[in-house]
Homo-oligomer: A and B are copies of this chain.
């Protein structure tokens, strides 16, 4: 993970607003580092295991098992081993190929992401194997992070991974919403939609969740394996029908959904299911936590701070323009804050690709903002992907200042042309304005900030 020191002293020491921006971004990353996230919410005090606001008596717990899936879960598992050591009976965690750590008691399974593969299916079966053995006096700790849904594919009985992939593909092409997609997928799985928690019952379950979904909807992150599912087989069937896919989905899929509708297969566990009385879902890392940490660091650095929203969405360059317009207001009118000021926003923007260039949503946020703040002194806007990877580039995002456009024009770079061609990466690369962190091993979406320096 990037450290403030690395950022500050690797080759090119940053100064002024940029240095402060680095410090703020680094603080945000530190707050959502997977290991630290676990340490913050989980601690052992003698025979007590404190998880969030709950305390578990380790003497009354027979076995502790760790299961999970997601890109950051190797790091989370490592923290669990540090805290619980040999109290961990066994464990299996499925990670994206290459995202490993050296573990002692928890088995790591590397699997395909974003396309699920048979390794993932085997990982899911290993998870189910552990859960079959758990009893009432056991504690199952489930580690969840972004990518968990694809990494833990458990096709319902009689179905194959190919069946699930085919249905997903058909629904996406037909224009189904993410909600619709998830409803169907939960009803073709043995783990999603609360079914992992049911498989673990009657054991107690604690899910530690590093959220990569804006607003932290528990039933959506990794398809909510330990969260009640309000949707039904009936709903899933109607969605398949709505898009006229009855004859196109694999026959086994339609048959499965109809069996479910007829009550021949148990429904996913519903909100009133008593099994959830023994389930604790806890968000240990999220965009909000990162944004709050950024805000605290900005305050420490002497900025007045304001968190605009942790739900920001919209076309990247246009969100950038709004951020730029707020920077302009700070500078010219002292609103919404007097200088020195730091406005923070979290969320995830989107890019409508119309060009052939290279870039990412955060780089487009920055370029959009640059156009608005051009020529204004003592103003910086940054946008930054917390996983370190903005679009298909090796950059996390970019910084822009009032001088950015002028410097670009002096180099013969036309900002409008780069934006029109979705080509922000070469633009910022030429200006040395990219935010380069390398992979951060976490992902809580994006962070955006506006910094206005003190009056000069």
A residues whose Cβ falls under 8 Å from a Cβ of B: 215, 288, 306-315, 318-319, 321-322, 325-326, 328-329, 332-333, 335-336, 347, 368, 372
Q: Is the CB of B328 within 8 A of A309?
A: yes
Q: Which of B288, B313, B336, B347 contacts A308 (CB 8 A)?
A: B336
Which B residue's beta carbon lies closest to that of A335? B307
Copies in the complex: 2
Q: Is the CB of B333 within 8 A of A310?
A: yes
Complexed CA–CA distance, A185 and B368 (Å) = 29
Q: Is the CB of B336 within 8 A of A215?
A: no
Q: Is the CB of B322 within 8 A of A312?
A: yes
* Other 14 A-B pairs with CB < 8 A, given A288-B333, A314-B321: A215-B332, A308-B329, A308-B335, A308-B336, A309-B325, A309-B326, A310-B335, A311-B372, A314-B318, A315-B315, A318-B318, A318-B322, A319-B321, A336-B336
Given contacts A318-B319, A319-B318, contact A313 B325 (CB under 8 A): yes
Q: Which of B306, B310, B322, B336 contacts A322 (CB 8 A)?
A: B322
8 pairs of residues in contact across A and B, judged by CB atoms under 8 Å: A215-B328, A215-B332, A308-B308, A308-B326, A309-B336, A312-B322, A313-B325, A314-B368
Which B residue's beta carbon lies closest to that of A373? B311
Which B residue's beta carbon lies closest to that of A316? B318
Q: Is the CB of B336 within 8 A of A311?
A: no
Q: Which of B311, B314, B329, B347 contacts A309 (CB 8 A)?
A: B329
Instruction: Tell me, rounded to whole Å, the shortest Cβ–Cβ distance linking A263 to chain B.
Output: 30
Q: Is the CB of B306 within 8 A of A325?
A: no
Residues of chain B lying within 8 A (CB to CB) of residue A313: 321, 325, 372
Which B residue's beta carbon lies closest to that of A307? B335
Most buried by B among A308, A309, A321: A309
